[in-house]
Amino acid sequence: MSENLEYLSPAWRDEALKRLQSELTPEKMNKVTTSMSNIYKNCPKGVDMFLFVECKEGKITRVETGTGEPPKAEFLITGNYETFARISRAELGAQKALMTGKLKLKGNLAKALKLAAVSDRLNKVLAKIPANY
């Protein structure tokens, strides 16, 4: 794949699912079962968007992007589009963004901190997708 995909587009989502499933084994994902919806505020097209990721026993089973109400998730993370874009480009760590208030988390904070390494693995795979932000 040589062309850049529009970040959060259906083509980007499909590539994200394919890469996450091929690069992250259940062992690398600590065989975790969880889900998260990232809510992107102030997107370039003037609408809020979401990225939903579901993991069952360490296998990425679902990735969705879109506008409107995201699928129900264990964790809801809200922030500006640019903050998420910086995380996806590996310019900013998700934990640092949370701790500095750039992202807001709804869900079990203790479990979220335990899953930080898993989240970092997800973001490292997503950062490799050539994208226009």
CATH classification at residue 30: 3.30.1050.10
Burial of 66 (0-12, 13-18, 19+ CB in 10 A): middle
pLDDT of residue 89: 85
Residue 51 in domain: yes
- Angle, alpha carbons 79-86-110 (nearest 5°): 55
Quick check: 128 pLDDT over 90? yes
Residue 94 in domain: yes
**Measured in whole angstroms, how far is the alpha carbon of residue 58 from the centre of its chain?**
15
Domain count, the chain: 1
**CA torsion through residues 75, 78, 45, 120, sign:** negative
Residue 133 in domain: no
Residue 93 in domain: yes
- Structural domain of residue 26, as residue ranges? 5-123
Contact 80, 42 (CB under 8 A): yes
Smallest CA-to-CA distance from 126 within 86, 97, 95, 96 is with 86
The model's pTM is: 0.92
Quick check: 17 pLDDT over 90? yes
Residue 76 in domain: yes
pLDDT tens for 25-69 read: 999 999 999 999 999 999 998 999 999 999 999 999 999 999 999
Residue 130 in domain: no
Residue 68 in domain: yes
pLDDT band at 2 (very low <50, low <70, confident <90, very high): low
Beta-carbon count within 10 A of 2 CB:
4
Residue 61 in domain: yes
